[in-house]
C-alpha cells in the first residue's frame, strides 16, 4: 500500500491562503507516495491526530523562522516570518520526532527540523559569517545545480546517493548554525555552510538545504534517489 505523506504548507503574510508548490506534490507521487497537504493548525489534539495518521512528513520550503524559537532577537536581515506556520510546524516536527516518523526536510523544512530538535540558525548567512561565501540565492532556473556539496562518509545521505559530492540548486539566506544534539552534519558546501543533517537516533530523518523536488525536472539522479529512499522508509 502506498504511504500517506503529509506536506507542510506555506501561509501568506496576511494569512489569507495556504500554499504548496506542485513540485512537492509531484515528487511524492513520482516516488510512490500519496501526498496530503497539511494546514497550519494550532491545537495540540489536531496536530497529534495528523501525525498519527501520516506515514511520513515532508517539510517544504518557505519564509524565515522566528528566531525566538532558538532564543535569539531578530537580526536586521531577518526576512518575512509567518507566526501561524512557525507555531504549527514547531509542534508538528517535535511530535513526528517523538513518534519516529520518517521525515524529509527541504530548505526551511530542514531549518525547522533543526530548530524543533533544539538547534539554531543563521538568520542571514551573509551578515553573520566571516569570509566570502558562495552565491546561495541563485539567478538560474530552479532545476539547475549551481554549486557542489561534499557528503560525509558513512552517512545516510551518502548511502542514498552513492556519491561523495553532488551539485545542488540553491535559494536561501538562512542556514543551520548549531545542529541539534541528535543530528550529524552529512553535507557541506565548500564555504562551510551546512547543506544536510540527519538524525543519529531515528530510522529516517534527513534535512537538505537545497530543493531536490525542483531538480526532478531534469531527472537529477541524486534527487530521485532521495525521494525514493524517503518513501521506502515510510513504507516500513
Q: Which residues contact 75 (CB under 8 A, 6 or more apart)?
A: 67, 123, 124, 127, 128
Residue-range domains of the chain with CATH: 4-235 (3.40.50.880)
Say if pTM beats, i.e. exceeds, 0.85: yes
Give the confidence band of 147 by pLDDT, cuts at 50, 70, 90. Answer: very high
Of all residues in the chain, what percent carry a pLDDT higher than 90? 95
Give per-residue pLDDT as tens, 150-193: 999 999 999 999 999 999 999 999 999 999 999 999 999 999 99
pLDDT score for 189: 98
pLDDT at 195 over 90: yes
Q: What pLDDT, in 10s, does the model give residues 103-134?
A: 999 999 999 999 999 999 999 999 999 889 99
Catalytic residue list = 107, 211, 213
Residue 236 above 80 pLDDT?
Answer: no
Residue 221 pLDDT level (bands cut at 50, 70, 90): very high
- pLDDT > 90? residue 18: yes
Q: What is the mean pLDDT of residues 8-30?
A: 94
As given in the structure block, the three cell numbers for residue 218 are 531534469
In the structure grid, which three cell numbers stand for residue 217, read together? 525536472
Lowest mean pLDDT among 7-11, 13-17, 37-41, 69-73: 13-17
Dist. CA 93–CA 99, nearest whole Å: 10
pLDDT of residue 131: 84
pLDDT by residue (tens digit) across 23-69? 999 999 999 999 999 999 999 999 999 999 999 999 999 999 999 99
Amino acid at each position: 500500500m502506498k504511504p500517506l505523506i503529509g506536506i507542510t504548507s506555506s501561509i501568506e503574510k496576511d494569512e489569507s491562503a495556504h500554499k504548496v508548490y506542485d513540485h512537492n506534490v509531484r515528487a511524492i507521487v513520482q516516488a510512490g507516495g500519496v501526498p496530503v497537504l497539511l494546514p497550519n493548525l494550532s491545537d495540540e489534539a489536531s496536530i497529534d491526530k495528523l501525525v498519527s495518521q501520516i506515514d511520513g512528513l515532508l517539510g517544504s520550503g518557505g519564509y524565515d523562522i522566528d528566531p525566538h524559537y532558538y532564543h535569539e532577537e531578530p537580526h536586521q536581515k531577518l526576512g518575512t516570518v509567518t507566526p501561524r506556520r512557525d507555531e504549527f510546524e514547531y509542534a508538528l516536527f517535535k511530535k513526528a520526532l517523538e513518534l519516529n516518523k520518517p521525515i524529509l526536510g527541504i530548505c526551511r523544512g530542514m531549518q525547522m527540523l533543526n530548530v524543533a530538535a533544539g538547534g539554531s540558525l543563521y538568520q542571514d548567512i551573509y551578515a553573520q559569517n566571516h569570509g566570502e561565501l558562495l552565491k546561495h540565492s541563485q539567478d538560474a532556473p530552479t532545476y539547475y545545480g549551481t554549486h557542489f556539496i561534499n557528503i560525509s562518509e558513512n552517512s545516510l545521505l551518502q548511502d542514498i546517493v552513492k556519491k561523495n559530492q553532488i551539485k545542488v540548486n540553491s535559494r536561501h539566506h538562512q542556514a543551520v548554525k548549531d545542529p541539534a544534539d541528535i543530528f550529524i552534519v552529512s553535507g557541506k558546501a565548500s564555504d562551510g555552510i551546512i547543506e544536510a543533517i540527519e538524525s543519529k537516533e531515528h530510522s529516517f530523518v534527513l534535512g537538505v538545504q537545497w530543493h531536490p523536488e525542483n531538480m526532478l525536472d531534469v531527472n537529477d539522479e541524486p534527487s530521485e534517489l532521495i525521494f525514493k529512499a524517503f518513501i521506502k522508509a515510510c513504507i516500513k
